[in-house]
Chain A
């Protein structure tokens, strides 16, 4: 099963290059801090110095080593992106599949709720909640982004399941006396596995972007380093207007590289697995 999924993927050049970029950044976040074991929050050397041999990405206003900040920041941002994706995924799958399998009033209620959460702008709600939380760990930020991100996915899951639910094999299962849960897990969910995987990747994107946005206005994690927090300090210290490109360009490049490589991974997956697109 896995072989049939991954074989065509790894024959696709676009997929391979995007996937390599993603893995490279993940390695920077996981192995980077070990290979470059500098404390990102300690005074490292002369303040606001441009990149040099001692400081490959220069330093900030507090003399923090910006390469150490970047490597640790990637780690935190990936962690937040991943955790928020897991949370959104679980909520979306639950609400979408209960809605589809149960139907009727349950469906109506859940979908109205979903539509309401969908139309309240995520970032505004996140800002509002985050202001009331004095201490915000990476996990809290991830949970916050996770519980706001699921509505579009829940709707898509419901729509896809509804198209599966009238197939013959599902009727057979019902005749055989399967429970709703058995039908959901054994008959329906495998049918949307690749779609769910692609959505998961998009959720990671959303989490990384969301963290950066929240952090930038001072509502990110209250401790540690993340890509968004590096950008926040760059904004607070006027790094852009004072021309300190080494401070704000690298974290932004990483965010764009991460999210666009993941997006290309999903679009190539779509091209390969979606028969309507594949024919061309």
Chain B
């Protein structure tokens, strides 16, 4: 019996994992195709730009040029280039940076990823928890003044772009009130270590960018949960419980729990879109994560680095999605038993 119940769960996870692999493979393919498909061949112009600077340091430039030619496999048939590219990527070789030559792309991206994840994941989770709770209360007291105020503020606050909210926070709390530092991940000149002072310093730099992500995504969750709760209140079990005289708090508990399930899937999808916002937030705050690295890569037109950041971020988002799918399957028996799939 037990095995029988477990099977659909494994099948479900297997399918999610297959989807993850396919999408990741497609992301790699996009990275391969784009520079070759867009007219004006950016690789050629990059080589041109590099050889223009050749007078300054011919030795160095020649080696960059050679690596570039090799890495992009220019000159070989496209299909060979493609398989070489995929083969390398699967071995974890995403090429060599141009602006930080001869550093490997992977060695540049890996150290900044923890900063981005540390900024993104707690902020999204806090926004998710607070937003859902607020939305549930508003929905449960639908039509009340509190509900109307909450709904309308959420609507407007939800429309504030992360980065602009970040600018406002810097202006108010750094420039005017001088409460929090407005840039960087820690005070410039200090060397990262595990002392209490450094940790406090990191936290004080963390608050503003994190707040900008929390505030701007909170409203969306609140509106979503409110709607789900309002729909849920129509269910038979709610009116039945009411007739039975079940305590209002207990009913609210049921409704809250049932309304939250769709929001778990939403959490997975939001990781991807929030990441875009977090990248720009990092740029506004000069926060030492992937967004800041991306910004530097963009301003130097370091194509291998830009591509590498893209591939690695996509991979981490898919892994996060997979993880949320897993959690979802654990808490929703319909998925676990293979009935909740559409």
Chain A residues proximal to chain B, CB less than 8 Å? 115-116, 118-125, 127-129, 131-134, 205, 209, 212-213, 216-219, 231, 234-235, 240-241, 243, 245, 248-249, 252, 255-256, 259-260, 263-264, 267, 276, 280
Contact = CB atoms under 8 A, between A and B. Distances in A.
Residue of B30, B170, B276 ringed by the most chain A CB atoms within 10 A: B276
Given A122-B276, A255-B161, A235 B143 contact: no
Contact of B314 (A115, A124, A133, A263): A124
Contacts of A276: 231
A128 B307 contact: yes
Residue of A121, A127, A235 ringed by the most chain B CB atoms within 10 A: A121
Interface string B294-314: 110011010100110010011
Interface string B1-33: 000000000000000000100110011001100
B283 A252 contact: no
A132 B38 contact: yes
B317 interface: yes
Contact of B143 (A125, A213, A256, A280): A280
B190 interface: no
A128 B299 CA distance: 13
Interface of B: 19, 22-23, 26-27, 30-31, 34-35, 38, 40, 42, 45, 142-143, 152, 155-156, 158-161, 163-164, 167-168, 170-171, 174-176, 182-183, 231, 269, 272-273, 275-277, 279-280, 283-284, 294-295, 298-299, 301, 303, 306-307, 310, 313-314, 317-318, 321
B104 to A, nearest CB: 20
Contacts of B314: 120-121, 124
A118 to B, nearest CB: 8
A132 B155 contact: no
Contact of A209 (B143, B161, B298): B161
Given A119-B318, A133-B38, A260-B156, A240 B276 contact: no
Residue of B26, B158, B171, B295 ringed by the most chain A CB atoms within 10 A: B171
B306 A128 contact: yes
A116 B18 CA distance: 12
B212 to A, nearest CB: 12
Contact of A116 (B22, B45, B152): B22
Nearest to A242: B175
Contacts of A245: 171
A213 B299 CA distance: 16
Contacts of A241: 170, 174-175, 182-183
Nearest to A262: B159
A248 B167 CA distance: 8
A123 B299 contact: no
A267 B294 CA distance: 36
Nearest first, the 7 A-B pairs at minimum CB distance are A123-B276, A121-B272, A252-B164, A260-B159, A259-B159, A132-B38, A260-B156
B23 A235 contact: no
A123 B23 contact: no
Contact of A129 (B23, B34, B231, B284): B34
Nearest to A219: B298
A256 B22 CA distance: 37
Contacts of B176: 243
A213 B276 contact: yes
B38 A217 contact: no
A252 B313 contact: no
